[in-house]
Amino acid sequence: MTETPHRLRVGISSCLLGEPVRFNGGHARDRSLIQLLGPFVEWVPMCPEVAVGMGVPREAVRLVGDIERPRLVGSNSGRDWTDAMRTWSEAQAEQIAQMDLDGFILKSRSPTCGLFRVKVYDQNGVPRNEGRGLFADALARRLPLLPMEEEGRLRDPLLRENFVDRLFAYHRLRQLLRSRPEPADLIRFHTAHKLTLLSHSPAHLKQLGQLVARAGSGAFPEILESYTRLFMEAMNRPATRKKHTNVLQHLAGYLHDHLSAEDRAELRSLIDDYRQGMVPLIAPLILLRHHIRRAPVHPWVKVQVYLEPYPKELMLRNF
């Protein structure tokens, strides 16, 4: 199985770490997030408002005008911070591209950091929850492959597990790219991630397999670039209960000839319990790992990252 170092580097909105940088001098410390990921990541905090000189405390700001190209203005004074924020955000996104980050967690609903459903006010002061913060937008445009999420959405167990899966997958991918890989290295990486990809996007798995099949036929840098983009596109597709069930059944199929009828029945029953939402994903996985360790299955099954994609202490598959 592909190894990852103990700590990843993750950018984060400073207020989520408890830094008193909000407009009212307060913070938005997210204890559950820090407790969950803190032992495994090195945080890289940033606050766009402070960085452009708004100060603390300060007047609240909001987005106004066109949804696609809103202005950032003071809620009471109407002071326009748009140009300063866009200039800083674009420059900062360029710096972040060189900072070796594995992902970024942003403050939800923020006019600078919000990724989804940020309020944009029209000329009559009526808000539409369809915008994106200026910094978040610049970051997503400059680094479309970087795993990004809002802290609010990470309270959802499925979204949380998917985001962490992406974090560690992106880290492993960048490790591969930094190693100046040969075609054989890409083949090994892809082989280890087949079931992970199947749990996110079967269609992308097929495309990636076709790319890998051409890895030794020339134009390898172009193949590697395409693989990188498609791999993260696949990881951005949420893994679902249905797709996880498909993967579990694939794994059970590789064990079929090595298990007794009683063991096969037990495994089928547990996978079906998971499919119906009666047990968490970890339940059938523990039984599968138990059998895989002992059965003479094909070696590629034993190296599947899917079996343990991140530290077990995170317990993200226990829900």
pLDDT tens digits, one per residue of 245-275: 999 999 999 999 999 999 999 999 999 999 9
Which residues have a Cβ under 8 Å from the Cβ of 36 and sit 6 or more positions away? 160, 314
Q: Is residue 5 pLDDT above 80, yes or no?
A: no
240: closest CA among 152, 165, 181? 165
Question: How much is the pLDDT for 2?
Answer: 43
Helix, strand or coil for residue 143? coil
| Mean of the per-residue pLDDT values of the chain | 95
Nearest to 45 by CA among 15, 1, 8: 15
Contacts of residue 46, defined as CB under 8 A and 6 or more positions apart, other chains included, come to: 11, 12, 13, 14, 92
Give the pLDDT confidence score for residue 216 in this predicted structure.
Answer: 87
115-150 tens-digit pLDDT: 999 999 999 999 999 999 999 999 999 999 999 999
pLDDT value, residue 6: 59
